[in-house]
Amino acid sequence: MRTGYLECFSGISGDMLLGALVDAGVSFDLLAETAAALHVGARLEQRRVSRGGIAGTKIDVLTSVEDSTEHSHQHQHAEHSLGGDAHHAHAHSHPHRHEHDQPQLDHHEHQGGHGHNHTHEHSHEHRSLSAILAIIRAAPLSELVKQRSIQAFQALGEAEAAIHQMPIEKVHFHEVGAVDTIVDIVCCAVGAEVLGVDRWLCSALNVGSGTVKCAHGILPVPAPATLALLGNAPVYAAGPEMERVTPTGASLLRMLEVQYQTLPAMCIVASGYGAGSKDIPGLPNLVRLLVGEDGYGGGAAREPLTVLEAVIDDSNPQLLAYVCDLLLDAGASDVYRTAIQMKKGRYGVQLTVLCHPDRMPALREIIFRETTTIGLHWRFDQKMALAREFMPVETPWGPVNIKIARWASGEVANAQPEYEDCRRIAECHELPLKQVMQQALQAYFGLGGNPAVNSRES
């Protein structure tokens, strides 16, 4: 089982979690593409920063009215305004760029623990919860990402509605704050899907302390919306007074359905640090993400995988063969074609491409450019692979590499002669390919190779 563990020793916000996901290996380009596909006038920027002497990744969500060079310093974040009449600007102290994107129904200008000192002017436009959910449903996202994103926004809306004693349909979010929150939540959902985590765990939460100043007065930390979202999560306060868990951060924890416990026994396969905006003395302003395996699968390593599929019924077979070669040359792990019967009795081909998520944009472009398809779909999956190594053996006609796969214990799970080596020898010496492969396996067994391995062709 793959586990994602969040260490929130300095709290959590949307941009902090985004930074941790990218730092742990999620493709920044994929998240930037996701942000653009939402069509809300926002883009992502990435930079490496130091917090308390520890390097981390800082992700900024920039709207069309922001200047990227000033974003992390001057950026007034008006938060979600309630029903159109609540309008308080409360100072959040989360060192991330927008955690004010939290649906604090009330206009919250978060400048707390996350170090937000933004000042930017924006209009008084607002987005309703139903409008935001429509944006998510219309976006080119997987069903899991849509489901999780909607769940997070529903939780935000319900928390605000309860606090302000109003129907959820009257909850509105300030235009700029809503953009930040939409991007944070959807991109975090995409990143979580790419990691292929089976369960999410979390440490106790450092929520911060002190107060935040709002137009309606002084509010305690954690803010009411954050407190409502956290429910019975274990919390504490440490470090300088500031708000450390923002409403968006709390809604993401709800979205991932985290369980709160200490770090379990597991083998760490990836880790990442997501940074807030301010470098706060005495406590690194970071959230740490650990991804681990508990031994499930006999020690086989799991890797993220993207599956792209397009159904084509009007293309020349020679063209598709050429496209398959292009895709493999461009970094696809595998490409295959499946004969299918389509609507109206037409025969077609389903083109399936397997690749690392980083390669998806480039391979998708090739499919659209080189084939006649006008649409395709994709999903994020997982690949499990045993540790592999190569052993050269000598045959009467020359050397052949044997590919050996091992369990975590070191025991051989499979051993096969490399096809290309055997094919080259067979063609050069005009021999049956199967004879060359059998001879290579015999040479491997003669060197003490495991005689119980599967003898099928690799």
Q: Domain coordinates of the chain in residue numbers?
A: 2-293, 301-384, 387-446
Retrieve residue 24's tokens.
């742990």
Is 277:324 a contact under the CB 8 Å cutoff?
no
- pLDDT confidence band for 392 (50 / 70 / 90): very high
Query: In degrees, to the nearest 5, what angle opens at C-alpha 295 toward C-alphas 54 and 263?
Result: 40
The pTM for the full model equals 0.64
pLDDT digits (tens, 9 = 90+) for 315-352: 888 899 999 999 999 999 999 999 999 888 888 999 99
Report which secondary-structure segment, H or E, holds 381. Answer: strand 377-385
Phi, psi for 337 (deg, rounded to 5): -120, 140
Q: What is the mean pLDDT of residues 278-285?
A: 87
Cα separation values, 252 from 100, 152, 309, 319, Å:
14, 6, 30, 45
Retrieve residue 141's tokens.
């996202």
Write the DSSP string, 293-359. Answer: E-STTTT-EEEEEEEEEEEESS--HHHHHHHHHHHHHTT-SEEEEEEEE-GGG-EEEEEEEEE-GGG
CA–CA distance, 333 with 321 (Å, rounded to integer): 16
Question: Helix %, strand %, coil % for the chain, to 5?
Answer: 35, 30, 35
Label the pairing between strands 2-7 and 286-293. antiparallel
pLDDT digits (tens, 9 = 90+) for 338-391: 999 988 888 899 999 999 888 888 999 999 999 999 999 988 887 777 888 899
Range 301-384 classified under CATH 3.30.70.1380: yes
Which candidate, 203, 245, 249, places its Cα nearest to that of 220?
Answer: 245
pLDDT digits (tens, 9 = 90+) for 163-222: 888 888 777 776 546 888 999 999 999 999 999 898 999 999 999 999 877 645 688 999
CATH topology for 387-446 is Ubiquitin-like (UB roll) (3.10.20)
Retrieve residue 318's tokens.
């020679």
